[in-house]
Structure formats: structure tokens, C-alpha cells
A and B are shown apart, each in its own frame.
Chain A
Amino acid sequence: MANLSYLKALNRAIADEMARDPAVCVLGEDVGVAVTNVTAGLLKRFGPDRVLDTPISEQAFTGFATGAALAGMRPLIEFQIPALLYLAFEQIADQAHKFSLMTGGQAKVPVTYLVPSSGSRPGWAGQHSDHPYSLFAHVGVKTVVPATPEDAYGLLVSALREDDPVVVFAPAGAVGVRADVDLAALGPIPLGLGRIHRTGTDVTVVAIGQHVHDALAVAEELAEEISVEVFDPRTLHPFDWTGLGASLDRTGRLVVIDDSNRSCGIGAEILATAAEQLRLTAPPRRVTRPDGTVLPFARALDLALQPNREQLRTAIRAAAKSTWEA
């Protein structure tokens, strides 16, 4: 067994795929010196022809990756900051994502967009702290949010092998996670398949990204009181509705913890789908950022707007006690 960090898992996934497939290349700002550590060693190992430091031109290099993909490459772009996705949103949502359909199936655009620290980091303030995975799931771009080192490895490998664009959000709150893993057993994990981290019979908690770890901690605290099942969808689009449905068949009660703004966040979609189609014996609940959140700088203010364990505990208790009639 080896003790694998989340960031090292991402690094290993890229290196393994680059070694396996000469079409995989890396583009981004400061990827040569690997300021995020995710691309450490890649320039030396694979050379400047496959690891390209770009100017600070997100629109151009994101469109560039689409063109390279149309010509047979499998680029991975690293975005150091989640908000950079807004700069390149046209190139991803309106170009890369639409080529397959608009060309009647002539084109495929295998590009992976990796954000190696998405969401809040202490002290990074308003423009570096968004966690915009719901935006991409809404558009229909394949969207992955791994919570653990082994999932980070397996989902990034799968993303790089996909023939469609995929955005991979590595939550800032999860990249410090380490796990003891058998390196030889690491392998691709299919997109669209959730993971039950803890089984339970009373309430299903759907937790995304870093909140998987919060949910596991809260489930353990509440173990004597409520049996909590922790379901990590891992991929938000496509979503593992079958897996969630099976969990709700067991529990009938649902709480979602989602680091999105409340309105139109993926948590809203999970609740809506559960209400429409899945088994719910009590009103579902969600813990999210407030509507239209801009995270403030001061730590206490920043934390005040992020979903937290106390809110999750309260929601789980409320879900466990309530019924539709109450």
C-alpha cells in the first residue's frame, strides 16, 4: 500500500495517460514549473512538445485545444483558478461542447479541462473561490468532481479517454486528502457511476466533492441516532440516477450537500428529480451556498456562506424526523 495524495493522484493519472497515448498533451499557465503540482515532472519527462506553457490567453488556448482535438490530439488544459472557466466559457460551452451535434457527428472534441483547486481556499476571496460545476452540468458538458485520491486518479484517466469534452473539478477542500491505496489497483473509473461511501438505512446524504468528507464525519457522529448512507455521485453530468434511486429505495429520505449557489445548483436538480421520479417518504432537504453567493475575504465571512457540518447535521435530523404529512 502507498499513501497517495489527491494532487499526486491527478499527476499520476496525467503521466500514465501521456505514457500510454501519445495524443495526450497538456496546455496551461505555468504547467512547466507546475505551480499547482499537478503537472510536476511532466515537462521533463514528455518535453515541451507535449507540455505547453501558454500565455495568459484563456480564450485562445481553450479554442486552440478544440482545434488540436479536432486534429487528433487529446489535450488537457489546466486552469489554475476556477473563475478562468468563465473567460473560456464560450470556447467550452458554445464551441467544444457543440461540435459533435452541430456537425452531425463528423467531429469529436476530446479535451479535458482540469481545475486543480475549485471552491474556497482560505484568503483567496471573491474572484478565486467559486465552484462552478453546476454551470457545466447544466450546459451538458460532462462534469466530474472527485472526492478522494483514488477517484481523482480513476476519473481523470477516464476523462482523458473520453471522446467528448470533460471538466474535472478538484475541490480545494479535498486536494489535501490522502489515502492508502494499492497503486497497482488504480484504474479508470467510468463517468456517470456514483459511489456509496457508507451504507445506511434512514437517510441518504448526497455529498459532492469535499463535502463527501464532511458527510462521512457527520454520519459517524450521528451513528447512534440516525443511520446515514453517504452517496457520492462523483460525476454530475451524466448523473447516476440509478444509483441514487437504489439508495432512496432503501432510505426514502434525502439530504444534499452541494457547494453551489442555491438557485439552479446541482442540488436543486437532485431534489427535483427525486421528487419527480424517486422514492421519497419525507420532504428532501439541501445545504448549499446562499443564492448568488460572492465569497467575502475575511475567513469568518467566507465560512459563513459555505455549507458546513452543523447545517448538514440539522438537515439530516430534520429529514429523519419529518414526513410529507407533518
Chain B
Amino acid sequence: MPDPAALYHTVRLIRRFEQRAIELVHSGEIVGGIHPYLGQEAIAAGVCAALRPQDQITSTHRGHGHVLAKGADPARTMAELAGRATGLNRGRGGSMHAADFAVGILGANAIVGAAAPIATGAAWAAARTGADRVVATFFGDGAVNQGVLLETLNLAALWRLPVLFVCENNGYATSTRTEAAVAGTIAGRATAFGIPAATVDGMDPEAVLAAATTAVAAAREGLGPSLIECVTYRFDAHHTWEHAARPRYRGEDELARGRSRDPVAIQGARVPAARREAIDAQIEQVLDDAVRFALESPHPDPAGAARYLYADGSHTRAGAL
């Protein structure tokens, strides 16, 4: 049985983390902007609640929710967004590349669809040693038209690998409507390869959890990959760049309709008010601490800008002599 309060905690944490991060974008503390996960919190929360600590994920450019739901420290995540030395990636990755291998996050990935084969290869490596590990790979509706994703569905099905393909269909690939970009269906792409697919309400954390639990169980039993299409709605911008540029591709009516089903409210209604308030207060404290930690952390030393380029620690020539 799902723990309603635990799921509520996750969606609320992501919601408030993103709102705090947007504030830091506007104040200039986070440079380059972010792709806010607002509205899609149920998916990260539901999928990661179906995973165990030894399981792994790959994430996307819109990745903060996945990273937090899989267990990354909010303070070090915020510090990474702010480009600080204490960040998850020591300030080398930023919003689109947050990774924490210690908790099974093989990285957010900024190329649409590119993480799917990485997740699948990691799943293969684990499976061949008998490790009890499932790898979930998140991607958006835009990725279902990337060749590499379709190639990967084929490989994962062919080799019956323990991968969970999670499509977050938020209706738009940046500004292009899913209907304008996807021939056929998203679930149909999976079933074409013999991969079981389910389309679920991506605004309801418990619906996502239920579907993910079934898929993860099948993967653990050696039945191979599954795909879950989570139908969702992005409440905010594709990227915070839109806050200033205000491109018009979604009308006010549509936005109001889309925002009317809020995953935080849906899950919050399943938790007694007193418990909810306690969780909210605890999250505010965590995020106050996270923002303070991020902003008080040192910037990385420019002398080490090329550090970590090679795993063997070797260096390349400087750009000026």
C-alpha cells in the first residue's frame, strides 16, 4: 500500500523546491535558467516510490523532480543549480546535468532521448551479474520521435532488460503540441516492440505509483521492460526564459484547465490536514536551509575549470600560452 503522506511529501518538496529555484533564477543567483517541473511532480514521486535504493534512474533537462524523488540532497541539488563547489556535480553540471551516483542517479541529460540507451546499458550490466536492479529512464513526449529512443526500445525488448521507460507527456515538446508531432500513439511505439505499455493519469501520484509498481515487479521477475505514458500538464514555462519572452502557444483557458488538476492538491487531499501542515513546515525548513547552503557555498575555483575532464586526472593543453 502506498503511504499517502510519503508521496505528498515528495510532490510538495518538488513543488516548493522548484518555486524557490525560480526565485533564484529571477534574482540572478541561478544563471541560465531552469526547466521547471511544476505540474509534473506526481510522475517523479510515483515512479521513484516504486523503486528501491539500489535501483537507478536517468533524468532529463527537466530533471530536478526526478533527482529529488530519487533521494538527492535538496541542499546539494540547489547548490548545483547555483553553480557552487558544494553542488552534486561540484558546479560542473548545473540544472540539466544533476547527478548523484551514490543514490542511483546516473545523471540528468540535456539531449532529448539520449539517456534511454544509457539506462538500458546500465540495466544490462546489472542484470548479467544477477544484481537485483531496475533502471527507470524518464523522457518527455518530444523524445518519442527520436530515433535513438526507438532503437533503444527495440534493444531493451530484444534482450528483456529490466528497464522502465517513463514518458511524461505534458502535451508539448517545447512549443509543439504532441498531436502536431506524434503520429500514432506513444504507447503504440512500445507495443510495436512487444513492450507492455500503460497510459496513466500523470497528475495523480498514486496512479503513477500503481503503474510503476506493476512495471517494476515485471522487470524484477525477468519479464523485461515496460513503458508508462504519464499524461500530465506543465504548469509553468518550458524554460524560465519564457518568463520574460512570453511566447504564446498556450491560451489562458487551456492553462487554467491544465492547472485545475494539481498533483500536490490531489495527494494533499489524501493526508490529514494536521499531518500535511507538519510536512509543509518541515519542507519549508529544509528549503530555507538548502537555499542558505547554496548561496553561502563557495564558487568553484576557476583554476580547476578543466578538472575531471578525464577520469585518469590527466590535463590537456591550455587555450593560451
Contacts and interface: CB of A to CB of B under 8 A. Distances in A.
Same assembly:
yes
B106 interface: yes
Nearest to A58: B151
A303 B217 CA distance: 59
Nearest to B106: A70
Q: Which of A66, A101, A164 has the most CB atoms of chain B within a 10 A radius of its CB?
A: A101
B125 A72 contact: yes
Interface string B83-121: 000011111110001011110001101010011111111
Given A67-B124, A276-B321, A277-B321, A59 B117 contact: yes
Contacts of A140: 309, 316
Given A102-B89, A104-B93, A63 B114 contact: yes
A134 interface: no
B255 interface: no
B126 interface: yes
A66 B121 CA distance: 7
Contacts of B317: 241
Interface stretch (B152-160, B177-185, B195-203, B232-240): B152-160
B93 A103 contact: yes
Interface string A95-107: 1000111111111
A106 B121 contact: no
Interface stretch (A49-57, A124-132, A213-221, A250-258): A49-57
B307 A68 contact: no
B111 A64 contact: no
Contact of B118 (A66, A163, A241): A66
B99 A103 contact: yes
Given A55-B151, A90-B114, A103 B121 contact: no
Interface in A223-246: 238, 241
A67 B312 contact: no
Contacts of A103: 89, 92-93, 97, 99, 101, 107, 308
Counting chain A residues whose Cβ lies within 8 A of the other chain, the interface size class is 35 or more
A180 interface: no
Contacts of A55: 151, 154-155, 158
Contacts of B92: 101-104
A108 interface: yes
Interface in B137-178: 147-148, 151-152, 154-155, 158
Contacts of A66: 117-118, 121
For A57, A104, A109, the residue with the greatest tally of chain B CB atoms inside 10 Å of its CB is A104
Contact of A63 (B101, B152, B307): B152
Q: Which of B87, B109, B135, B311 has the most CB of A within 10 A?
A: B311
Contacts of A142: 310
Interface residues of B, number: 49
B151 A57 contact: yes
B118 to A, nearest CB: 4
A179 interface: no
A70 B118 CA distance: 8
B99 A64 contact: no
Contacts of A59: 117, 147-148, 151
Contacts, number: 151
B123 interface: yes
Given A67-B122, A104-B308, A62 B321 contact: no
A240 to B, nearest CB: 13
A71 B121 contact: yes
Given A60-B148, A64-B124, A73-B125, A106 B118 contact: no
Contact of B107 (A61, A69, A107): A107
Interface string B280-321: 000000000000000000000000001111111010110001
B248 interface: no
Contacts of A90: 111, 114, 148
B128 interface: yes
Nearest to B98: A103
A249 interface: no
Nearest to B310: A164
B155 A62 contact: no
Contacts of B89: 102-104, 106
Contacts of A70: 101, 106, 118, 121-122
Contacts of B102: 106
Contacts of B155: 54-55, 57, 60-61, 64
20 contacts: A55-B151, A57-B154, A60-B154, A64-B117, A64-B124, A65-B121, A67-B123, A70-B106, A71-B126, A73-B125, A91-B117, A95-B118, A102-B89, A102-B93, A102-B99, A103-B89, A103-B101, A104-B87, A238-B314, A238-B316
Given A59-B148, A70-B118, 12 more contacts: A61-B117, A63-B116, A66-B118, A67-B106, A102-B89, A102-B97, A103-B101, A104-B87, A104-B90, A104-B308, A164-B312, A241-B317
